[in-house]
Amino acid sequence: MAGESQAHETHSSSPHIVIVGAGFAGLAAAHALKDAKARVTVIDRHNYHLFQPLLYQVATASLSPGDIAQPVRSILKEQTNASVLLGEVTGIDKTARTVRIAGGPDVSYDYLVLATGARHSYFGKDHWAKAAPGIKTIDDATRVRANILLAFERAEVEINPERRRALLTFVVIGGGPTGVEMAGAIAELARNSITRDFRSITPHCARVLLVEAGPRLLPVMPQALSDEAKAALERLGVEVCLGKAVTNVTRESVAVGDEHIAAKTIVWAAGVRASEAGQWLDATTDRAGRIFVKSDFSVGGRSEIFAVGDTVAFKQGDGTFLPGVAPAAKQAGAYIGALIAARIAGRTAPKSFAYSDFGNMATIGRRNAVADLGRVHLKGFIGWLLWSVAHVYFLIGFRNRLGVAMSWAWSYLTYQRGVRLITGRDMEIAMPLEEAA
Ligand SMILES: Cc1cc2nc3c(=O)[nH]c(=O)nc-3n(C[C@H](O)[C@H](O)[C@H](O)COP(=O)(O)OP(=O)(O)OC[C@H]3O[C@@H](n4cnc5c(N)ncnc54)[C@H](O)[C@@H]3O)c2cc1C
């Protein structure tokens, strides 16, 4: 665990705000506290902040991990009242007002903000995780990238047709934005770019399936955009299976209803579960583990404890819950930061939180996207342009924003994928195919 900065020691009499999680919500809260007469400590289990919306681009070898992640220390280096601790939080003592950190001393707080996000949910089938990894962290994305690239490498030399077919079959489970984007990106990789590097694999050798248990893709979007997303994926060669639940997953196959599909690369994009923050606080949660928070994001009658972002269930004025998306996490994090800053300064609290919803988007391959902006619906290239501009814009705080934009432009113009590196393989997956099975 890293040490605390000078700011901690020099203003030790000022209130101490501990923020757990340096994701969108946690960092927005920290930034909103930059002028507060307080010590702010941000704790995260990773030393980087991750731009999760572009993880699938790392998983499909379009961007490098460094393009979408930046050290938390460098993000907060100008904020003199903030310190960063690298550590895994394992619990909270509400009475002693301390945060427990694995292998480190407890950290005491005056105000606590829990912004620990969400993780995959396998709906009780956690043993599927090894065969069907999801993408939530840099490690997940590089692991999936390695799986995809290794499948092509092995298919190139495989002479048994059945095994070759299994190697070139990619199944994505879950038809939300992540599943749609992932399936489209794998199809483009398989059909348009990677096959040029191989001698025995042609664009039509690969089979990409997207399986969704519900009746349509992108259920949060209007039906017309769901239909458009399906049609665009099919044009890319993705087989979209709707209304079919996955009943089993192994390293060899996926069972969709009664059908067993032999596939060596399976990606999970079907469900999320909140972090363990609800258990730490013994708070009331929904079925996905999200903490029910009050209108000021405080938890369980404690005015000094707040939770925010994907780890909470926040009921809005219209009765709907705040969506689990980056803009919502950022806005809510900024609100909590401003609220705490006002309390410390003895100012009036900001008026109640209202989410400015700019809409939903999902990209499908290199030149197509659907965007639901309320009354305006965009699709095709215009949708993709908007998606690209919005994502590059929201990479704010990432010093390499321009670099990422250039990588995209290069990959767009040339069909080149510069980061087809197979790295970080654990032994199990790196073994020859027969042994890994
Ligand atoms: C693949 C993918 C694609 C997505 N695409 C989009 C998109 O296109 N548009 C969009 O708006 N949203 C998208 N999202 C959702 C968006 O990323 C989340 O809504 C957002 O990240 C939530 O922010 P957060 O701060 O609540 O959590 P996170 O950003 O997940 O941050 C949580 C932080 O807490 C840390 N943490 C967790 N537990 C502990 C612990 N015990 N100890 C210490 N640290 C801990 C984590 O390391 C992490 O840094 C996507 C998500 C994924 C996974």
Please provide the average confidence, as pLDDT, over all residues in the chain: 88
Position in ligand 1 atom list of the atom nearest CA 90:
41
Residues 162-205: tens digit of each pLDDT:
999 999 999 999 999 999 999 999 998 888 767 777 888 887 88
For residue 40, the 8-state DSSP code is E
- 114's torsion region: left (phi>0), alpha (psi -120 to 50) or beta? beta
Q: How far is the CA of 24 from the centre of ligand 1 (A)?
A: 7
| Per-residue confidence band for 399, with pLDDT thresholds at 50, 70 and 90 | low
Neighbours of 423 (CB within 10 A): 11
Residues with a catalytic annotation lie at 181
Question: Does the beta carbon of 189 sit less than 6 angstroms from any atom of ligand 1?
Answer: no
Q: Are 112 and 92 in contact (CB under 8 A)?
A: yes
Measure the CA dihedral 243/245/246/247, to 10°. -150
Residues 372-396: tens digit of each pLDDT:
998 899 999 999 888 888 877 776 5
Show the DSSP H helices in 262-369 as ranges. 277-281, 326-345
Q: Does residue 367 have a pLDDT over 90?
A: no
Question: Does the beta carbon of 72 sit less than 6 angstroms from any atom of ligand 1?
Answer: no
Query: Phi and psi (nearest 5°) for 139?
Result: -60, -40
Q: What residue's CA is closest to ligand 1, atom 37?
A: 116
CA gap 95, 107 in Å, rounded: 13
For residue 128, the 8-state DSSP code is G
- Closest residue by Cα to residue 383 from 134, 144, 214, 184: 184
Question: Does the beta carbon of 331 sit less than 6 angstroms from any atom of ligand 1?
Answer: no
Q: Does residue 257 have a pLDDT over 70?
A: yes
391-403: average pLDDT: 65
Position in ligand 1 atom list of the atom nearest CA 269:
1
Question: Does the beta carbon of 326 sit less than 6 angstroms from any atom of ligand 1?
Answer: yes
Instruction: Specify the pLDDT at position 408.
Output: 64
Long-range contacts of 4-11 (CB under 8 A, 24+ apart): 4/41, 4/83, 4/85, 5/82, 5/83, 5/84, 7/39, 7/80, 7/81, 7/82, 7/83, 8/39, 8/41, 8/83, 11/37, 11/38, 11/39, 11/81
Question: Does the beta carbon of 324 sit less than 6 angstroms from any atom of ligand 1?
Answer: yes
Question: Does the beta carbon of 58 sit less than 6 angstroms from any atom of ligand 1?
Answer: no
- What is the SS3 string spanning 180-218? HHHHHHHHHHHHHHHHHHCCCCCHHHCEEEEEECCCCCC
Question: Does the beta carbon of 265 sit less than 6 angstroms from any atom of ligand 1?
Answer: no
Residues 310-336: tens digit of each pLDDT:
999 999 999 999 999 999 999 999 999
Q: How far is the CA of 263 from the centre of ligand 1 (A)?
A: 29
Position in ligand 1 atom list of the atom nearest CA 49:
49
CA gap 130, 183 in Å, rounded: 19
Q: How far is the CA of 136 from the centre of ligand 1 (A)?
A: 7
Q: Which of 49, 116, 178 to mutate to test the pocket of ligand 1 (most atoms within 8 A of CB)?
A: 116
Q: How far is the CA of 369 from the centre of ligand 1 (A)?
A: 22
